[in-house]
Amino acid sequence: MAKSSKKKNDKSIEESLWDSANKLRGTVESSEYKHVVLSLIFLKFASDKFQKHKKKLIEEGKEDFIEMKEFYNKDNVFFLPEKARWSFIKDNAKQDDIALKIDTALNTVEKNNPALKGALPDNYFSRLNMDGSKLSALIDTINNIDTLKDEENDIVGRVYEYFLNKFALAEGKGKGEFYTPKSIVKLIAELIEPYKGVIYDPACGSGGMFVQSIKFIEAHNGNKKEVSIYGQEYTSTTYKLAKMNLAIRGISANLGDEPADTFAKDQHQDLKADYVMANPPFNQKSWRAANELKDDPRWDGYPVPPTSNANYAWILNMVSKLSQNGMAGFILANGALSGGGDEFEIRKKLIENRLVEAILVLPMRMFYTTDISVTLWILNNNKKSYTDKRQNETVKYRDREDEILFVDLRKWGEPFEKKYIQLPEDQIQDVAQTFHSWQREEGDYENKAEFTYSADIDEVRDKDYSLVPSKYIEFINRDEVIDFDEKMTSLQSEFSELLQKEEESKRELQNIFKDLGYEIKL
């Protein structure tokens, strides 16, 4: 009963914070006030950690060192000068210049802690011209969070994640790209199992892939110090979100010296990663000029990805970063599973090079930015049989070099926030167990109608290198054996033609009436 009560209390903190943040509406755009709220949460958390460490130094008889930042940074604690501490912000919350004081505090924290370079908003609060009473009320609400009360359950991390999720929902279609739904990220981590080594995300958003990687390691009794994290993010504000999101959890990462386009300015050119996890922008157009990046080493051995769609450019970027035994798990729109031109040639070569290990089509409405069903790709640089020695077990993998596992999850999931779908924990574990039983020698994998099928490379060749799962998986109701992307494209085309014919009929009718001396609108 006590455990249930604790969870309920944690939830009420999150909800009360969200309600308080919502009061900023009207004076601050929703796309802006996430930075207000998350910056303040970060400042409160950093201050609580600082005060706890300061008390420890005093108890150890090191009073002479309590204002020396070296004695904090060496223990992964951010040093805060007096006017950057939460107590100072709280005491001045009702002053007219509180926005300026917050800006100064954030700037001071960043200057005193190199790990936070480029992470915190710069003169942000002053520029927003917020309602002082609402900002003061928000500070009061955040002040009620005891960030260190239950460090094991990561209260602050959960609040941060809750807010990122809520902001992504609030910003709706065309926005919210900074956040990948948690259940998708967790599924990727459970499938590729990033125990130790280098993890890379070329479009890292707010850092959710990295957070779930660390959670995976901790859940499996691993050591997060055995992981190195590298990422890149194009949008400046999202780059700051990622740095804060990781810092608030004590996760060290190299996100490049600045926000930058992964294609135009690759900040990790020589990187070789053991694990790649990503949710790059879907169907990104005009990602390079016609004559740019034609000789980029990332496409070495493959056709140059078309300028009209960056899907395969993202794939080849990730392939170029894989270590000898590296694995990648990433999300793409379903259209990348089929189609012709250079994309077909690239896909064919990926398959012939034995890189594609699994294709999982996900349920619709999992993303806040699109209603379509999307696909999770698993690439593997070593699909041959080998033995992997891990911390507590030795895992033997069977030779799947000439096979690809197809998985259909379109009917899986449960309702979330009324109009969205998420994969619950038990389903994530079911999918992961199925995948690993297919991979491993001790597994008892069998194809299952309407769920999975292990296709050999000759079957894929016979189907013209299509990676659409419904072309391989057996369906009991044969009417379901269709290429849904192809069908949707066909229906859209038919609908467009009907609309065009309707418009032509309207114009003809208007011309007839015009000839008779009448002006009509249809």
Q: What is the pLDDT of residues 295-314, one digit of tens each?
A: 999 999 999 999 999 999 99
Q: Supply the DSSP symbol for 254.
A: B
Who's near 395: CB < 8 A, 6+ residues apart?
387, 388, 440
pLDDT score recorded for residue 232: 97
* Contact between residue 133 and residue 86 where contact means Cβ atoms under 8 Å apart: no
Nearest to 49 by CA among 71, 73, 78: 78
* Whether pLDDT at 234 is above 90: yes
> Confidence class of residue 11 from pLDDT cuts 50, 70 and 90?
very low
* Contact between residue 249 and residue 41 where contact means Cβ atoms under 8 Å apart: no
* Contact between residue 200 and residue 230 where contact means Cβ atoms under 8 Å apart: yes
Who's near 384: CB < 8 A, 6+ residues apart?
397, 399, 401
Radius of gyration of the chain (CA): 26
Q: Supply the DSSP symbol for 28.
A: B
pLDDT of 372-397, one tens digit each?
779 999 999 999 888 886 666 788 99
Comparison of pLDDT for 187 and 485, the residue scoring more: 187
DSSP string, 432-447: HHHHHHHHBTT-----
Q: Supply the DSSP symbol for 107.
A: H
pLDDT score recorded for residue 4: 40
* Whether pLDDT at 82 is above 90: yes
pLDDT score recorded for residue 521: 65
> Confidence class of residue 178 from pLDDT cuts 50, 70 and 90?
low
Comparison of pLDDT for 476 and 279, the residue scoring more: 279
Please give the structure tokens belonging to residue 455. 């296709």
Alpha helices in 248-340 (DSSP H): 311-321
* Contact between residue 417 and residue 176 where contact means Cβ atoms under 8 Å apart: no
Q: What are phi and psi of 95, to 5 degrees?
A: -80, 150
Mean pLDDT of 340-367: 95
**Beta-strand relationship, 197-201 and 227-231:** parallel
Mean pLDDT of 200-213: 93
* Whether pLDDT at 10 is above 80: no
pLDDT of 404-435, one tens digit each?
999 999 999 999 878 889 999 999 999 999 99
CA distance 482 to 491: 13
Please give the structure tokens belonging to residue 280. 């790059």
Q: Which of 23-37, 84-98, 103-117 has the highest mean pLDDT?
A: 84-98
pLDDT score recorded for residue 277: 97
The Cα-based distances of 126 to 28, 90, 188, 520 in angstroms read 12, 17, 40, 54
* Whether pLDDT at 480 is above 70: no
One-letter amino acid at 399 equals: D
Mean pLDDT of 331-355: 95
**Which residue's entry shows tokens 């994998």?**
445
* Whether pLDDT at 1 is above 50: no
CA distance 294 to 441: 42
CA distance 317 to 132: 47
Please give the structure tokens belonging to residue 453. 């099928």
* Whether pLDDT at 345 is above 80: yes
Who's near 301: CB < 8 A, 6+ residues apart?
349
3 state DSSP class of 327: strand
* Whether pLDDT at 83 is above 60: yes
pLDDT score recorded for residue 17: 75
Nearest to 395 by CA among 160, 195, 131: 195
* Whether pLDDT at 3 is above 50: no
Q: Quick one: CA dihedral 16, 20, 21, 23, positive or negative?
A: positive
Mean pLDDT of 239-255: 88
Mean pLDDT of 205-234: 91
One-letter amino acid at 282 equals: F
Fold classification of 182-477 is: Rossmann fold (3.40.50)
* Whether pLDDT at 48 is above 70: yes
> Confidence class of residue 487 from pLDDT cuts 50, 70 and 90?
low
Q: How far is CA 449 from the centre of its chain?
A: 31
> Confidence class of residue 124 from pLDDT cuts 50, 70 and 90?
confident
pLDDT score recorded for residue 9: 46
pLDDT score recorded for residue 26: 61
> Confidence class of residue 8 from pLDDT cuts 50, 70 and 90?
very low
CA distance 258 to 494: 46
Mean pLDDT of 446-454: 96
Mean pLDDT of 110-124: 85
Q: Which is the CATH superfamily of the domain at 2-171?
A: N6 adenine-specific DNA methyltransferase, N-terminal domain (1.20.1260.30)
pLDDT score recorded for residue 330: 97
Mean pLDDT of 74-90: 92
3 state DSSP class of 230: strand
**Which residue's entry shows tokens 């386009």?**
261
Q: State what percent of residues in the chain have pLDDT above 70.
A: 85
CA distance 29 to 128: 9
Q: How many CB atoms are closer than 10 A to CB 165?
A: 18
Nearest to 336 by CA among 318, 352, 312: 312
Q: How far is CA 9 from the centre of its chain?
A: 27
* Contact between residue 266 and residue 316 where contact means Cβ atoms under 8 Å apart: no
What average pLDDT is seen over the chain? 86
Q: Domain residue spans in the chain? A: 2-171, 182-477, 483-522
Q: Quick one: CA dihedral 112, 114, 119, 122, positive or negative?
A: positive
Which region among 24-33, 159-168, 234-243, 401-410 has the lowest average model confidence (pLDDT)? 24-33
* Whether pLDDT at 143 is above 50: yes
* Contact between residue 83 and residue 107 where contact means Cβ atoms under 8 Å apart: no
